[in-house]
Chains A and B, each alone.
Chain A
Amino acid sequence: MQTLGQAAQPSVILADEPLRAIELSAATVTFGRGDKAVPALSETSLRIADGEFVALVGPSGCGKSTILRLVSGLVQPTRGVVIVGGREVAAKALRIGMAFQNPTLLPWLTIEQNVMLPLRIVQPFRARYRRERRTTFRDKAHALLGQVGLKGFASRYPWQLSGGMLQRANLCRALIHEPRMLLLDEPFGALDQFTREELWSILQDLWLAHKPTVLLVTHDLREAGFLAGRICVMSARPGRIIDDSPVDFARPRTIAMTFEPEFVTLNQRLRDLIVHTRSLPAEREN
């Protein structure tokens, strides 16, 4: 383990280098071949600066998750170029945090152990894991859990927590290895409105405290407006980015703000764009 850790050092230094941007240039992704080919993304270009919070919205199946998978290196572009942190994508060298709608915490580990899981795997923490899991690393986990209001739950098991609490723990797990980039795929999609709004504020605080680059996929336009500094709207499949608007409201933002006329107007405009790009006229968002 030790020597493995040493061998991986050079790439770790690269990972610590501040990310210049996420850069998709005319990235096209087609799943399958021949007759069964499904174009998921067509010539999408997107630039995101370091420390930006960008929300990605668009009709279902338009390729939002595919963009996240491109950026994280899980999927290679069929054509086009994906540059992350100044280099063509090679996920392993980068420190990325990820969270999905399903919190996927491991049921046999306590919340604290779940949150510390990335430290067991990601360098350079991995090399120090055995020595520091009961000291520095645990403190780190407790600090994060405190920030999301799960102070007393570190030694509980996932089945003892509610869905909202699990999702908070999931955010901690996504952040503990100090990623420069956070990829969130509808992380609050399965939660009720009130829990969701609560978690928006928590995520906003986490972002203000750590300033990672965030790419958030969501179906909730209020969520996008509340959290993001920029909202990209995608067309129906195969997706492209058809609108890219800054969101200039001052931070920290409040839930009350989402009911102000300016915010509602922004919401309305995004909604119209999405409704327009969908082939079916019905719209499931409120």
Chain B
Amino acid sequence: MPANLRQKIWSFALIVLFFGGWEVFCLASGMSDLILPRPSQVFETLYNRFPVLWPHIIRTISTTLGGFALGVALGVVLGALIGVSRVAYDTAYPLLIGFSSIPKVAVVPIFVLWFGSGEVPAILTSIAICFFPIVVNIATGLATTEPELEDVLKVWGASKFDILWNVGLPRTMPFFFASLKVAITYAFVGTVLAETVASNRGIGNVMMSASSNFDVPLVFVGLFILAGLGVLLYVVFSLVEGRVTGWATRKNDIAAA
């Protein structure tokens, strides 16, 4: 515990040092705030404009969570379909890899073409970005059941569904939650990406219009909000992961102690 606490204090100190260094650098070099505003200016702008920014924050969060939820649902279903059979796994993998290697910026214009600008392309973009790690992790978790255990279960008369429910899915949980952390970050990236390109609301859009007005502090406010939200979402899912799949990490803790 003390080691843990010390690490937290150091992390916090590093953050303070980062912002302090930035502030000092700007003051010392006389940097124009049209190029790099000081953190204090950014926080001040954040405080002053907060009432205006709030609806955009809400919009970005709701789009992210919406895309994330749908992406996870899609990912789980596809992952389960692919993971239950070796043949399906091997067959579908190349297609998935192909899909995942498309840069997602490239699909935003297509979604805009189909659905106009607004929330729909943003949700679709975040789905498109975030479902892939879920599929891979679920499918891999399911496809790697120990053959001996599978034999034992079959001898008990377990159906495919029994095996999936009692062994496949629980075993997949650590993979699943690890992928959730990645997926929520991706969904967030997808949302902001689409907001930047084609939307009239959301933090991405705020940053876009601020930059065309040369309101540089506001651009940085957007950046700070995005960083804060990203960390928040990551932390929430890390906590959930720790509660649900402690068994996967506990062994290492004991060995290390």
Chain A residues with CB under 8 Å of chain B are: 69, 72-74, 91-93, 96, 98-100, 102, 104, 106-108, 117-118, 120-123, 157, 159-160, 177, 183
**Partner-binding segment picked from B89-97, B146-154, B188-196, B201-209:** B146-154
A residues in contact with B151, CB < 8 Å:
69, 72, 74, 98, 100
The minimal Cβ–Cβ distance linking B84 to chain A, given in whole angstroms, is: 17
A-side contacts of B146, CB under 8 Å: 102, 104
Residues of A within 8 A of B158 (CB): 121
Residues of A within 8 A of B155 (CB): 72-74, 91, 96, 98, 183
- Residues from chain A with a CB closer than 8 A to the CB of B170 are 106, 108
Q: Are B166 and A117 in contact (CB under 8 A)?
A: yes
CB within 8 A of B157: which of A91, A99, A106?
A91
Complex alpha-carbon distance, A104 and B154, angstroms: 14
Given contacts A117-B166, A121-B162, 18 further A-B contacts (CB under 8 A): A91-B157, A93-B157, A96-B156, A98-B151, A98-B152, A99-B152, A100-B148, A106-B171, A107-B248, A108-B245, A120-B166, A121-B153, A121-B156, A121-B157, A121-B158, A121-B166, A122-B156, A157-B250
- Chain B neighbourhood of A69, CB < 8 A: 151
Interface residues in B216-257 (C-beta closer than 8 Å to A): 245, 247-248, 250-251, 254
9 tightest A-B CB contacts, nearest first? A104-B149, A92-B157, A159-B251, A108-B247, A100-B148, A72-B155, A121-B156, A121-B158, A98-B152
A230 → chain B closest CB, angstroms: 23
Q: Which one of B153, B155, B157, B162 has the greatest number of beta carbons of chain A within 10 Å?
A: B155
Provide 23 A-B residue pairs closer than 8 Å at the C-beta atoms, listed in order of the A residue.
A69-B151, A72-B155, A74-B155, A91-B157, A92-B157, A96-B156, A98-B151, A99-B152, A100-B148, A100-B151, A102-B146, A104-B146, A107-B247, A107-B248, A107-B251, A108-B173, A120-B166, A123-B157, A159-B247, A159-B250, A159-B251, A159-B254, A183-B155
Min CB–CB distance B144 → chain A (angstroms): 13
B: interface residue count bin: 20 to 34
Using known A-B contacts A72-B155, A122-B156, determine if residue A104 contacts B166 with beta carbons closer than 8 Å: no
> Which A residues lie within 8 Å of B156 (CB)?
96, 118, 121-122, 177
Does B167 have its Cβ within 8 Å of any Cβ on chain A?
yes
Once A108-B247, A157-B247, A159-B254 are accepted as A-B contacts, the answer to whether A102 and B148 lie under 8 Å apart by CB is yes
Give residues in B with beta carbon < 8 Å to A: 146, 148-149, 151-158, 162, 166-167, 170-171, 173, 245, 247-248, 250-251, 254
Residues of A within 8 A of B149 (CB): 104
Cα distance A130–B25 in the bound complex, in angstroms: 66
CA of A159 to CA of B153, assembled, Å: 21
In the complex, what residues of A have CB within 8 A of residue B245's CB? 108
Q: Which residues of A contact B251 (CB under 8 A)?
A: 107, 159
A120 to B154, CA, bound (A): 13
Q: How far is the CA of A91 from the CA of B155 in the complex (A)?
A: 6
A106 to B170, CA, bound (A): 9
Contacts of B173 in A (CB 8 A): 108
Asked if A91 contacts B154 (CB within 8 A), the reply is: yes
What are the residues of chain B within 8 A of A177 when measuring CB–CB?
156
Question: Are A122 and B157 touching (Cβ within 8 A)?
Answer: yes
A72, A93, A159: most-surrounded residue (chain B CB, <10 A)? A159
